[in-house]
Every structure is written in structure tokens, then in C-alpha cells.
Chain A
Amino acid sequence: MTEGKVVKGIQFVNFRDAGDPVTLAKKYDEQGADELVFLDITATTENRNILLDVVRRTAKNVSIPFSVGGGIRSVEDMRLVLENGADKVAVNTGAFNNPGLIADCANYFGRQCVILSLDARQIKKGRWNVFINGGKTDTGVSAVEWAKKAVLLGAGEILLTSIDTDGMKKGFDVELTKLISKNVNVPIIASGGAGKIEDFYEIFKKGKADAALAASLFHFGELTINQVKNYLKNRDIPVRSI
């Protein structure tokens, strides 16, 4: 069966501060990341060209799959990113405001290229709502319903970020992940909350995630990808070893 993926998220906020994303990408490829996700947080028009340049250089320098998200609003946006060398593109607010975007992208490029990026926050017990605009706007729509609809439209994978656990370092959102995983039949990448090594085991075992994404945890060297994979392997979660 497919191994649990350990995915490294790399966020662009300010290129000058973050360091060269391409150098970071190479490093994580060498350290055993299974996939990389680039998230362009500010997603302004002037950042767009910088982003495409980063995509191009990354494609030349890493040999593992990498995905790009942030501000994708049209098929043309997606086409540019794929053409420059990304393997998959994540759509979030752009897709929620225009669900036809998912279908169009899936038709042109194939559903395996289309990741639904879904940010969710718990409203009450058993119920999570979809938030858009960088997690700031409550859409009032159930996360389960939107996930199901997006998959029907053609999303091949879901990048599920829990707003509740994100940045708290108290673990991934097992309940939310399990719920979404139960309701759709595409791979789920769980994101938000990784704080210690046990969290990764939990999200695969109990959360039924297919992949676990962490950003700052690996970035600041608190844990290495190798440590996480060895931990998982020793607990019978199949992972790719290098």
C-alpha cells in the first residue's frame, strides 16, 4: 500500500527574510521529504513572477513532487505554474468562490494535478466550517459538504488545514481529519499542529491521513524528517526510507 507521506510545507511571506525557497527545497529533498508544498501567502501580482521563477528553479533542482498554492484563481494561473515545472496546484478561496475552476482544471490537466486546499475551524461538536481568504472568512458551509463537492468536481487530493490546531504545536486535528477521510475517497494531506514526533503517528493511525504536512517544525530544526520516518517505521506505519 502507499506509504504515509511526510510533506514539507514552505511558506512565502517575504522572500528576503525566508531565505531562498529553492535552497530550502533542495535541503528537504535531500533530507527525505516525500513531497513539498509551496504556499504563496501574500499572493500579490508582483509576487507572481517571483513565484514562477522559484517554481522553475525548484523543478530543476529537486527530484521529488512539489505542489504550489496561493492565489490561484484561473485555469491560466494553474497552467503557468504547471508549465514552469510544478506537479500539482492547490486551489482554495479561488475554488470556493468559483467551484467551476476545479472542474475546468481537472478537465484540462487531470484531477491528479488538482489539490483542494481546505481550511476548517470547528463550530460545534462534530461540525467544522470552511474558512476562506487566508482563514479569515467563515463561509458557513460544512467542511464535509465542500470536500465532497470538490471531489465530485474533480479534486484529486485534499490539503486539509485545521485552523484550530495550526500553530499550536499540540498535535494535528485527528477528529477533523478522520471525518473528512471517512467522507471522501481521495488522499488527504493533514496540515496544522505538528509539535512532537508522536503527533505524526497519531494523525496516520487515528486520523486516517495519507500524508502529514509540517512547516516550521522541520524548518527550525526541532525535528528532522528522518527522525519522524524512523519513528513511524518502528510503529508499522509504512514510509519511504532513503
Chain B
Amino acid sequence: MIAIIDYGLGNLGSVKNTLDKLGVDSVISKSKKDIEKADGLILPGVGSARQGMENLKNRKLDKILVNEIKKGKPFLGICLGMQLLFSESKEGNSKCLNVIEGTVKEFSSEVKVPQIGWNMVEQKTESELFKNIPRNSSFYFVNSFYCLPDDKSLIFGETEYGVNFCSILIKENIVATQFHPEKSGQVGRQFIKNFIKLI
């Protein structure tokens, strides 16, 4: 059973639809019980880091999530769900969950902001997460900010948009994507399927 975290941001239905199509049991929830019982967690999200942290704190989800991650529960962070894992975000100068050391900053105005569209993800290394996904596949991005992990060895996928930024990050039980696999057609669905297989 996968728990899709409901903190009031993000198109939760799309994530659930994808899991339904894959035949995976899931529940959209903000309850501590569901989250602790789940075999894996997905933190989606579209919106601002400040709003995201505020919503997580209001629902007391911030502490619960950090605990579950520390316990080793498989965790997938998507878009804002990836950014919130970091130490801080320049968006509203928000202190985030600090599970991954690093910052989140905005694309420079030399590119169109937000990035809205498909972009290639370069697989930096081999991983079960890339199984049956052709090299240099494109995924769907909607973001104005991008993540800079202090530890570069966590970067598993890189994408170019003015700068080369981290599009996939893996740290032990955490997988985080800046793109939306639930909106990335066939390859996106395969990516989620591969993540589920690792649980």
C-alpha cells in the first residue's frame, strides 16, 4: 500500500491514476496512521516551497515524514516534493525538511520561467529505476526552481535548461524527481513502476 501524501498542493489524482493503471494499491491521505502503515510514500506537489512547508507543518506532516524517511521507508518526491526535502529554498527563503543538504534556487531570466514542457533527462549512471526506459528519454517539467544537492554523488539524472540541473536524485531510500513522472506518458509510468518494484 502506497500513501500519497495530501498536504493540499498538487494534482494528487494524477499520481493515483497512474498507480491505479499499474495495479498498485494506494491511498491519498494526510493521516499519521496511513503514512506509518504504508509500504512506500509519495510526496507530490506543485506550488511554492513556502506554502508547501506551511501546509506540511499545519498538518504536522513535516515531523512524520522525516521520521518515516529516517526509518528507511521508500520515498518518492515529485517536483515540489523533491524541493521540500532540501535544507532551504530561495523561494520565499523557506527552511525545508533538511533531509538532503543543499539549496533550491530559481532559473535565471535567460530562459523562459517557469519551464513548462518536456526535457531530456540524462541518466548519469545505471539504476533499476531506468529499466526499460530508453537513454535520453524526455519527461514533463513544470518548475521555476531547481535543486542543488551539496553531495553531487546523489545526482542520478541531469537535465539542461540554461544550466545543467539535477532532475533525478537518489539517496538511500529516497528517490526524487524534478519532473512529473505521472504526466510523462509511457516513460513516466515505467519510472513509477520501477520505483514500486524497489519497495
Set of chain A residues within 8 Å of B185, measured between Cβ atoms: 29, 63-64, 242
Contact residues, B1-56 vs A (CB, 8 A): 11, 13-14, 17-18, 20-21, 46-48
The answer, yes or no, to whether B113 is at the interface (CB within 8 Å) is yes
The answer, yes or no, to whether A185 is at the interface (CB within 8 Å) is yes
> Which B-chain residue is minimally distant from A86 (CB atoms)?
B11
CB-based contact B114/A111 at 8 Å: yes
For the complex, what is the distance from the CA of A63 to the CA of B184, rounded to whole Å? 6
The answer, yes or no, to whether B160 is at the interface (CB within 8 Å) is yes
Contact with B along A94-114 (1 / 0, CB 8 A): 000000000000000111110
A63's partner among B114, B143, B188 (CB-CB below 8 A) is B188
For the complex, what is the distance from the CA of A109 to the CA of B188, rounded to whole Å? 23
B46's partner among A2, A3, A112, A242 (CB-CB below 8 A) is A112
CB-based contact A2/B161 at 8 Å: yes
CB-based contact B116/A157 at 8 Å: yes
Assess A87 versus B117: contact at CB under 8 Å? Given A82-B11, A110-B47, A112-B46.
no
CB-based contact B118/A3 at 8 Å: yes
The answer, yes or no, to whether B140 is at the interface (CB within 8 Å) is yes
B119's partner among A2, A185, A186 (CB-CB below 8 A) is A2
Set of chain A residues within 8 Å of B111, measured between Cβ atoms: 1
For the complex, what is the distance from the CA of A207 to the CA of B142, rounded to whole Å? 22
The answer, yes or no, to whether A178 is at the interface (CB within 8 Å) is no
CB-based contact A5/B117 at 8 Å: yes
Contact with B along A178-216 (1 / 0, CB 8 A): 000000011100000000000000000000001100000
Provide the main secondary structure of the chain A interface.
loop
Most B-side CB within 10 Å, residue of A85, A240, A242: A240
For the complex, what is the distance from the CA of A162 to the CA of B13, rounded to whole Å? 34
CB-based contact A63/B182 at 8 Å: yes
Number of interface residues of A (CB under 8 A): 30
For the complex, what is the distance from the CA of A144 to the CA of B116, rounded to whole Å? 21
For the complex, what is the distance from the CA of A134 to the CA of B115, rounded to whole Å? 29
The answer, yes or no, to whether A156 is at the interface (CB within 8 Å) is yes
For the complex, what is the distance from the CA of A24 to the CA of B167, rounded to whole Å? 32
The answer, yes or no, to whether B138 is at the interface (CB within 8 Å) is yes
Contact with A along B167-199 (1 / 0, CB 8 A): 000000000000000111110110000000000
The answer, yes or no, to whether B109 is at the interface (CB within 8 Å) is yes
For the complex, what is the distance from the CA of A34 to the CA of B116, rounded to whole Å? 11
Contact with A along B54-83 (1 / 0, CB 8 A): 000000000000000000000000000000
Top 6 A-B residue pairs of the complex, sorted by shortest distance between their CB atoms: A2-B117, A240-B138, A240-B118, A110-B47, A112-B142, A3-B118
Q: Which residues of A contact B (CB under 8 A)?
A: 1-3, 5, 29, 34, 59-60, 63-65, 82, 85, 87, 109-113, 156-157, 185-187, 210-211, 238, 240-242
A-B contact pairs, 13 of them (CB 8 A): A1-B162, A2-B116, A34-B117, A59-B14, A60-B17, A63-B17, A85-B13, A85-B17, A111-B114, A156-B116, A187-B114, A238-B120, A242-B186
Please give 12 more A-B residue pairs, beta carbons under 8 A apart, in addition to A1-B160, A63-B21. Answer: A1-B161, A3-B117, A3-B119, A3-B138, A65-B183, A85-B13, A156-B116, A157-B114, A185-B109, A185-B113, A186-B114, A187-B114
